Amino acid sequence: MGGRGRGSRSRTQRKHFRDGRENVWKRSKSDSTSSDPNGNSNSENKTHWKPFSTQNSAFDEYYKEQGIVTAEEWDTFIEVLRTPLPAAFRINPSSQFCEDIKSQLENDFMNSLKAETTDGGELRKNQTLERFHEFLKLENEIGNITRQEAVSMVPPLFLDVCPDHFVLDMCAAPGSKTFQLLEIIYQSTKPGSLPDGMVMANDLDVQRCNLLIHQTKRMCTANLIVTNNEAQHFPGCRADKNGSKASEMEIEPQISQLLFDRVLCDVPCSGDGTLRKAPDMWRKWNPGMANGLHSLQIQIAMRGLSLLKVGGRMVYSTCSMNPVEDEAVVAEILRKCGGSVELVDVSSELPQLVRRPGVRKWKVRDKDLWLASHRDASKFQRSHILQSMFPSGKSYVAPANKDLEHENDEIVISEDGIQLTEDTSTEDLIEEVSDLPLERCMRIVPHDQNSGAFFIAVLQKVSPLPAIQEKPSKKRSLFKKNPELQEKLSDQVTRDNSGLEPDSRDVAVEKIPEAATEADLIVDEPDEADMEPDPSIISNQDDSEETKAVVNGETDSGKAVGKRKLQLQGKWKGVDPVLFFKDESIINSIKIFYGINESFPLDGHLISRNSDKNHVKRIYYVSKSVKDVLGLNFRVGQQLKIASVGLKMFERQTSREGTDTPCSFRISSEGLPVILPHITNQILYASPVDFKHLLQYKTIKFADFVDAEFGEKASKLMMGCCVIVMRDSKTMSGPIKVDESTIAIGCWKGRSNLSVMVTAIDCQEMLERLSFRMEAEKGSSAQENKLNVDELKLNGVSKVEESETIQLVADA
C-alpha cells in the first residue's frame, strides 16, 4: 500500500551514492602527474589505483601500550583490521513487504549464491551476484532494507525502547540508527495508527543533517523531528509559568518541558573503529585526534543526561577503540553526576553478542610522550591534557613554594617513554586505576565476530543531577573572537568520510588543533541551572539582529534574569518556518472529498512550511507526540531549529486537462498507508490483473480494463485523486480489510482514464513484489494439489483420473 518506507533517491543521488563508495580500498598513485603543466593530457601518466596503506606505526605502538587486546592476539587483531569489512544490512520490520523480502533472501538468493561460491569461499562475479546487488540497491532506496555496519546496529538495541517512548538521538547523522529507532517504535503499530512515542534526531552539521533527512524520509513517519542544534547545548524547552503570550501560530502545549525516556549519545569521535570500512584513515590516525574531542564528548553526554527523565536510560557510544574517548568520558560523567547516574551491567543482554568488558586503566599520549597521570603533564600540556582523561580524574597542583612547571625546567623521559618532572622518580609512576565499575562498559573488537569496532556504555538516571560545585567561567567562547577556529573545528569534527556506507558516527579528523582547550570548545562549564533543561539557556543562535527576538525571561524560582533572546523559527537562516495549518476551508474540502472519518483527526495535526496559505504546496501530518513538542517549542520561543518534521500527507495538484476539481490536494504516496483505513470516498478495489496493468502502463482508459465493472466504477469517481486497492485472489468479493499486506496506490481520475501517481522506482518495486507473491502462491497451490493427488491415490483413483487431475494442476 505504498508501505512505510516508500521514499526513494533520485537518479542523480543514487549515482552519487554508488560512486562515492566505489574503490574505497584504492587510491590514486598520483593526483597531479596525470597531466602536464600546460594542462594537456599525458597518455603515459594515466591515473592508476593501488590499495591504501594499512600501516601506521603510531597506531600499533599506541594500542599495544593500552592493552585493548592481549599481546597473544595482537597479530590476529591487526590482520583482521587490515581487511575489508563485510557488507551488512537490516530488513525494515515495519515494511509491508518484510516477510516477502525475508522469504526471497532465504529461499532464492541464499541458495543461488551458495551455488556460486568458489573453493576459497569467495563469490564469482556473475549474473546471480549482479542480480543480488541490484536487489539490495532497490530495496535500500525504497526503505525496505537499510545498509548499515553490523556493530552500528548494536547501540539502539541496548536502549530498550518502547513504542510510547520519547527518544533523543543527539548526534544522529547520517541516520541509520535513527531509522532503527523508528523501526522499533513502529514494530507493534497497526495500519492506520501511529505510535504514542516519537524520535527527535539532531545533528549540528547542515550537510550531514540533510543526509539524515534523506535517510529517514524512507521510513515515511509522522513521529520524527529532525533538528539542527548543537548537541552540547540542546534546548530543554522548559516553559515558564508566566511565559510570553501565545502567538496566533501556537497551540496550547500539553507538556511543559522537553524530557526524554531514552537518549542515544553516539558522539563524534576519531573513528578508528571504522578502519576496515575507511582504510584511508590509516595514514591520518594520530593520538591527538581523540584528545581533541574528549571534552566535547563529555559536554554532549552531560547534556544528554540532563535531558533524560529520572528512570530513563542513555547509551553512550563511539566507533573508536580509544579509552580517552570511551572509558575516560564515562568515568568523568559518573564523577560529575555523583550517585544520580548508574552504569548499568548489561552483560546478560544480547547474549550472542561477543563483547569485552571496559578497561579501568590506561595512559594518555601527547605527541611522543606517555603520561600516566595528570601530575606528569607539564604546565604547557595542561592546557590541552585534562585531568578527566586519566583513570582517577584527579588534577595535580604544584606546591606553592616551588614552580615545577617553569618553562626552562628540564624534561626527563623514562625508559618506557613516560615524562618525568624533576622531583618524580620512576617508582612514583604507578599506573592509575579507576575505582569506578568501568568493566560494565563494553568494547566490540573486529576479530571477535568479523566486524568493525565499537564502544558502548549504558547509563541509567536514578535521581535528578546534582549541582556542579565549581562556578562557571564568565568568559565566552573563543569562537566569538576567532571564528576561523570554530569553522575549522566544525569542519573537522563533522566531516563525513568520503567513500563510506552511511551508517557510522565516525569523524574524519586529520588533526585537531592541540591548542584547542576545553574553554575553546565549550562556552561554559554548566552550573546547576544547566544540569536540567532550562529555556533560559539558549544556544546555537545567530548573532545577527534580524534573527533575534527579545522577551523577558524568568528562572524557575520566578526571579527575573533580565532579557533573554529567543529565536524566531522563521528567521533561522536557511530553514523554513514550521506553522500549524489552520485553513478550515481547505481542511474541510479534503475531509469531504475523501470521506475521512473522525477516527483520523486532522485539526491540530497538520503543518506547513510556508507562511503564505495561498501558496502552500504541501501539508504534513504529525503524531500527537510531535504535535505536543511543537506546541511547547512555540511556547518557549522556538528554541529548536527544526530542519524537518511531519509526514507529507497532502500535495497540491492541478488537472492536466485544465478542469477544476472539488479538492486541489491529492494524497501523497508517503501518507497513504496511514490514512488509507480512514478513507470512505474516492476508493476502488481492482483485480490483480488490472492493478498490475496500471503499474505497467501507468495510464489506462476506462474501457480498456479487463474488469469492465471496475472501469465503469472508475469513470463515475469525482475528478481528481483516488486510491486503488488491489484485491488478492482470496478476497475478490465482499468487504476488504486493510492490514499489513494491503497494497494500494494513488491515481488521478481524468475525463477518460486513470493515471498512476507513483514514482517509477515504486512501480518497479511493487511489480517485483507482486511477481514474487504470484510465484510463491503458484508453488503453494501446486504443493496443495500434489497433496490432493496423493490423497486420491490412497483412495483408489484410476490412472486416467489421476492424469486428468495433474493436467488441471498444470493448467492452474
Residues with active-site annotation:
319
In the chain, the largest separation of any two C-alpha atoms, in whole Å, equals 113
Query: Phi/psi at 13 (nearest 5 deg)?
Result: -65, -40
The span from the CA of 43 to the CA of 645, in Å, is 52
Q: What is the 3-state secondary structure (H, E, C) of 659-690?
A: CCCCCCEEECCCCHHHHHHHCCCCEEEECHHH
CB 3 within 8 A of CB 745: no
CB 285 within 8 A of CB 300: no
Query: Phi/psi at 312 (nearest 5 deg)?
Result: -80, 170
The span from the CA of 84 to the CA of 125, in Å, is 17
The answer to whether the annotation marks 177 as part of a ligand binding site is yes
* Single-letter amino acid, residue 424: T
Percent of the chain that is helix, strand, coil (3-state, to 5)? 35, 15, 45
10 Å Cβ neighbour count for 209? 26
Going from the C-alpha of 666 to that of each of 463, 722, 747, the distances in angstroms are 49, 8, 9
The span from the CA of 669 to the CA of 213, in Å, is 17
The span from the CA of 773 to the CA of 752, in Å, is 31
CB within 8 A of 193, min separation 6: which ones? none
Residue 124: exposed, middle, or buried by beta-carbon count in 10 A (0-12, 13-18, 19+)?
exposed
The answer to whether the annotation marks 163 as part of a ligand binding site is no
Element (H, E) at 370: strand 369-371
The answer to whether the annotation marks 175 as part of a ligand binding site is yes
- Find the helix packing angle between 760-794 and 799-811, rounded to 10°: 170
Secondary structure (DSSP) of 35-59: B-TTS-B-GGG---EEEPP---HHH
Residue 114: exposed, middle, or buried by beta-carbon count in 10 A (0-12, 13-18, 19+)?
exposed
Q: How far apart are the first and last CA of the chain?
A: 27
Going from the C-alpha of 808 to that of each of 729, 777, 801, the distances in angstroms are 18, 16, 11
- Residues within the annotated binding site for S-adenosyl-L-methionine? 171-177, 203, 266
- Residues within the annotated binding site? 171-177, 203, 266
